[in-house]
Structure 1
Amino acid sequence: MTTTFPASRHSPWYWIVLGGITLGTLDLLFACTFWGVLRDVAPERILQSIAAGVQGKAAFEGGIASAALGAACHYLIATMMVLAYHLASTRWAALAERVVLYGLPYGLLLYAAMTYVVVPLSNAPQPTKVYPSWTVASIIMHALFGVICAWFARRARQYG
């Protein structure tokens, strides 16, 4: 079943960027809440850990500037995740038509790519301890993030 929406004047880029902002914000809320409750980690530190992908350990001494870089990197990556799904959906329309069916595995693919490719290849210090609760929560959240990517990609296709 396909849901129809009223006509929109927005370009595909509007939906892709809005999807990246939505995805990035929800992911930051998730990470900041999880680590804030579990380990009393400040949001600035979370953003610095993202900046560490570029700056390495120096990000943790870079204050608000490193946190801002981390936020910029985070939202750029989130937007690229939505864009990638959108581009794939222009070739395979079913990806945009069945957002849950294809969005869930896309989210799992994102989790695997970030965990096993992007972060290890970045300048960020590698984790020294595994937190099973973080791993499980991250897998679940990334599956949901995939659905968000798919939904915004569908909007971009429908109204772009």
Structure 2
Amino acid sequence: MFPCCLLAGVVAGLADLGAAILYWWVIDGVPPLRIPQSIAAWVLGREAFAGGMATAVAGTVLFVVLTWGLVRLYASLATAWPSLRRHSVRSGLMYGALAYVAVFHIAVPLFAVEGAAPARLDGIGFGLFACAVLVGLPCAWAARRLRA
């Protein structure tokens, strides 16, 4: 279970983070390092933004570990409910969207050191789509692969 889930977690985490970096850079001109630094700020607070490349790497690692956990959770759920594997695309997309809401609109605002920035409607739409596709589908792939 470990290598398949690890691969899916790394791919999903880096793809989703890369999409967020590109989106916010194009839409608002946010410097690319700010996105992973903002993830590091969940744990380190505002000091993460002064940490340069080191906190950007820390944020990237944190996000990949989080995504790997999401993959492991989906794989466990798919073991209990085989219909998640039978309808893998639909289930994966739904799981990715639910994961986005759970992480960015429940967990981060509740548990981050300094809370979260206010959400913007365009960012929510992009986040739901990106997480559904770039996180949910790799989760579904890993779950199917584990039972193949």
Distance in 1 between the 2:120 and 2:13 partners? 22
Gaps spanning 5+ residues in structure 1: where? Answer: 1-11
Match of 1:148 among 127, 135, 138: 138
Alpha carbons 1:36, 1:42 under 8 Å: kept: yes
- In the TM superposition, residue 81 of structure 1 has moved relative to its aligned partner by 0.7
Q: Secondary structure at the match of 1:43?
A: coil
> Equivalent residue for 1:8?
none
Larger Rg: 1
Q: Which region of structure 1 is more displaced relative to structure 2, 86-95 or 71-80? A: 86-95
* TM-score, normalising length: structure 1: 0.84
Aligned counterpart, 2:126:
137
TM-score (norm 2): 0.91
Task: Number of aligned residue pairs: give it.
Answer: 146
- The structure whose residues are more often helix, as a share, is 2
Aligned-pair identity in percent equals 34
Tell me whether 1:50 sits opposite 2:57 in the alignment.
Answer: no
Q: Which residue of 2 aligns with 1:4?
A: none
**Structure 2 alignment gaps of length 5 or more:** none
In 2, the alpha carbon distance for the partners of 1:103 and 1:125 equals: 28
- In structure 2, the partner of 1:104 is 93
The alignment yields a C-alpha RMSD, in angstroms, of 1.4
CA shift, 1:147, in A, is 2.2
Larger CA deviation: 101-110 vs 29-38: 101-110
* Residue equivalent to 1:94: 83
